[in-house]
Chain A
Amino acid sequence: MGTAEPLSQAGYAEAVKAPGRKRKNKGETNLAGYLFISPWLLGFFLLTLWPIAQSFYLSFTDYSLLEAPVWTGTSNYANIFSNDATFTKSLSVTFVFVLISVPLKLFFSLMVAIALSRNIRGMNLYRTAIYFPSLIGGSIAVAALWRNMFGLDGYVNQVLAWFGIQGVGWITNPDTSLGTLILLNTWQFGSTMVIFLAGLKQIPQELYESASVDGAGRFRKFVRITLPMLSPVMFFNLVLGVIGSFQTFTSAFIITKGGPINSTYVYALFLYDKAFKHYQMGYASALAWILLGIVAALTVLNFLASRYWVFYESDGGKAK
């Protein structure tokens, strides 16, 4: 603050004296600034914004990659909503995935974060070990591991057999296949957990101390102090989790290929197949925009709901 003051005063004085010159000066500074970020801007406009705009246009066309796109108006959208059973199926698979995996992941990562927030010798080692699965999450190796674990003759069934339980082919059984993917997703709680951990460290110890003085037990402290103080972090993780889960792709693509019988045919995989397997780029673009709409609507909903359960310390600790 102290250093910025004289500068801005000088600038102000100058502006009063010679308004024309000031504008020019400001223009120059802006230009230099834009030049400095121009590599990023170019990348953003050419490689991000342009393709996004292009995909919006393509969503109103029939485009097979090999031939020029043909304008078809809203027929892609009409077809998706009126007579595409796979769309409905993949959307419902995705909703089930999001509804189960997001809360599960939040719960587990919070529990682990609490366990890891204590001061024990060698804690860094534990943290690293527990974060590790998130690093190798989408790899082929994990897919192979999952197949071996949850296959018909996999480790899981071998363990079950010790207790006399006849296992099923977890991955190849349509009733359980989505469950294995949810489990895999939950296992990769690393980044969520780290954010929770940071959030926990931010909670002032005085709150706990004074609560202890007042005779509050562990559970009460958790519900009354930890959870409310952590709610902004929880909210952040929830929003990111919902967005991420809607786009889940890798595990379904590598491990189950959407099967058996579409039981793990998540929305992103459906979209990918339409685009890069059946070369219906227009249709796939329309699907992508619908996904964007759904995710945006849910995020808005999340923000609206957050008024009732997220507490910001800066607002005096009150939910709006």
Chain B
Amino acid sequence: MRKKRSSVLALTGLTLLLAATACSNSGGGNGNGNGNDGGSGNVAGANEGGETKAADPITLGMMWWGTDERHEATKNALALYAKQNAGVAFKPEFMAWDAYWQKLPTLAASKTIPDVLQMDAAYIQEYVARGQLEDLSDIDLSGIVDPNVVENLKIGGKLYGIPLSQNAQGIAFNKAELEQYGIALPQKNWTYDEYFQWARDARAKLPEGKYPIGDSTDWGGYNMYQTSMGKDPVMADGGKKFTLDKDLFMTYYKTYEEFRKAKIVPPAEKGAAFLENDPQADPMASGVVMTRGATTGSVSALEQLMPGKVGVVNMPTGPSGGGWAQSTIFLSVSANSKHKDEAKRFLRWFITDKEAGKTLGLTRGIPINPDIYKDLEPTLAEKDKLGKEIYDLSVEKALPFYSAAAGFSEWVDTYNKEMQAVTYGQQSIEDAYDKINKMGTELAAKAGS
């Protein structure tokens, strides 16, 4: 087994060597656009050190999460880069979201994070705070990414992740069934009051066993409500400031309590069995709930479960706005990478190369680079148009994207469990508030000390 592997390795090396010399010959000749850096580097290498130097290919590790569609597209893009840049090979690792964030901390602890890694807005602060990510401010993004976007993404004045796409949060609804039951479709920039009233009205027209909206137990849903009403986000200033407005909290969850009694939201037992994007258990695709949250990046999966039936609208708004619309998915470089320059060159290529853009499509949302999106626009499928629609609807009123502060992951779980106890009728809203507020306040005090 081992012997076999080493001979495979030698063979790969030989192949790469041949490829490298072959490319350097032609690379010197045409030398246009992308891959020129890598190509000319190889020419120099071949000239100085002969064959031995060109035989030293760089292998960049790259890790990302996502769906199969994204995995395939990304692998193809990597192959494209390797073709354009002889001497660079990749060691890709890809998995689903949960597995990714389980694996990354252990890699970080052993300082073996791959050279290039996908990052999410929900986690990037934590990894930057722990010195795991390389400063990417010197990558030239002018003309590729809006300077305002870049400025907004900086953490402590430095850029640690190259934004890949535009993302936004909205609500998907079952257009076909709402029309069938004569229910008015949700309208852009609806307010929370209109949203709640819409749900009450829809209840009257829907048959038993179907529900207008889903229940709310996670902190994110409430945080959107609190911020849209002009209050501070629940967590601010890296977790040092904690705000859980009791009046708003009570109003919000009292409304849902009323909804549970009136069967406007499904009973807790039913809600707990939902599993998003599962053909049978998805709350909306199963035909049980008429609406559910969806993002630009995720709505296509829902559309594929119920083709032609999905409509979208932005999040309900308050006096300060509502929802969010911004980049949440990035590529970063590990601070422990041995090939930082090559990794940075690759990152820039990833969002500028037209061929790469075509290969990657919308597998990470709407490409951040307007030129690439323009090329893709005429060929967009229906499922991708929905994602764009959520973004376009949300941009006007969008608030910032709020992620849980570092050290609050357990609080997030607690929030969910305490609110779940409320939905099962085992606890009063007030008791849940006290517990959640106490824990959050203590964590904030700890973060501030």
Contacts and interface: CB of A to CB of B under 8 A. Distances in A.
B440 to A, nearest CB: 15
Nearest to B130: A66
B125 interface: no
Given A261-B421, A277-B409, A278-B409, A174 B270 contact: no
Given A66-B130, A67-B130, A174-B426, A262 B417 contact: yes
A76 to B, nearest CB: 14
A132 B426 CA distance: 40
Contacts of B271: 172
**Secondary structure type dominating chain A contacts:** loop
B428 to A, nearest CB: 14
Nearest to A279: B105
Given A66-B126, A172-B271, A277-B102, 19 more contacts: A66-B127, A147-B273, A152-B269, A152-B273, A169-B269, A174-B426, A259-B420, A260-B420, A261-B417, A262-B417, A273-B413, A276-B105, A277-B409, A277-B410, A278-B410, A278-B413, A279-B105, A279-B409, A280-B410
B106 A65 contact: yes
Interface string A140-172: 000000010001100000000000000011011
A168 B269 contact: yes
B1 interface: no
B409 A169 contact: no
A55 interface: no
A278 B269 CA distance: 27
Contact of A172 (B109, B130, B270): B270
List the 10 closest A-B pairs by CB distance, nearest first: A172-B272, A169-B269, A66-B130, A65-B109, A278-B410, A172-B269, A65-B105, A261-B421, A278-B409, A172-B273
A173 interface: yes
B426 to A, nearest CB: 7
Interface string B401-444: 00000000110010001001100101000000000000000000
Contacts of A67: 130
B409 A260 contact: no
Contacts of A172: 268-273
A277 B105 CA distance: 10
Interface in B332-353: none
A84 B102 CA distance: 24
Contacts of B105: 65-66, 276, 279
Interface of A: 65-67, 147, 151-152, 168-169, 171-174, 259-262, 273, 276-280
9 contacts: A67-B130, A171-B273, A172-B273, A261-B426, A273-B413, A276-B102, A276-B105, A277-B102, A278-B410
A66 B270 contact: no
A103 B51 CA distance: 71
B108 interface: yes
Contacts of B273: 147, 151-152, 169, 171-172
Contacts of A65: 105-106, 108-109
A169 B424 contact: no
B132 interface: yes
Nearest to A67: B130
Nearest to A274: B410
Contacts of A276: 102, 105
A100 B376 CA distance: 60
Nearest to B269: A169
Contacts of B421: 261
Contacts of A277: 102, 409-410, 413
B373 to A, nearest CB: 36
A141 to B, nearest CB: 15
Contacts of A151: 273
Nearest to B420: A261
A34 B174 CA distance: 70
B99 to A, nearest CB: 11
A174 B273 CA distance: 12
A66 B272 contact: no
A172 B268 CA distance: 8
Nearest to B102: A276
- Kindly name the residue among B127, B130, B417, B426 whose own CB sees the greatest number of chain A CB atoms within 10 A: B417
A89 B102 CA distance: 25
A166 to B, nearest CB: 12
Contacts of B126: 66
Contacts of A280: 410
Contacts of B413: 273, 277-278
B124 to A, nearest CB: 13
A149 B421 CA distance: 25
Interface in B258-272: 268-272
A148 to B, nearest CB: 9
Contacts of A173: 269
Contacts of A261: 417, 420-421, 424, 426
A277 B407 CA distance: 11
A168 B272 CA distance: 13
A262 B421 CA distance: 9
Contacts of B268: 172, 260
A156 to B, nearest CB: 14
A273 B412 CA distance: 12
Nearest to B414: A86
- Kindly name the residue among B109, B269, B271, B409 whose own CB sees the greatest number of chain A CB atoms within 10 A: B269
A252 B124 CA distance: 30
A259 B108 contact: no
Interface in B118-149: 126-127, 130, 132
Nearest to A150: B273
A40 to B, nearest CB: 20
A280 B130 CA distance: 15
A66 B420 contact: no
Contacts of B417: 259, 261-262
Nearest to B270: A152
A66 B108 contact: yes
A169 B410 contact: no
A278 B105 CA distance: 10
Nearest to B427: A261
A101 to B, nearest CB: 23
Nearest to A276: B102
Contact of B109 (A66, A171, A174, A273): A66
A169 B272 contact: yes
Interface string B7-24: 000000000000000000
Contacts of B130: 66-67
Nearest to B418: A261
A248 to B, nearest CB: 20
Contacts of A174: 424, 426
B335 to A, nearest CB: 12
A277 B99 CA distance: 11
A123 to B, nearest CB: 39
Contacts of A262: 417
- Kindly name the residue among A66, A67, A174 whose own CB sees the greatest number of chain B CB atoms within 10 A: A66
A66 B132 contact: yes
A168 B421 CA distance: 17
B153 to A, nearest CB: 21
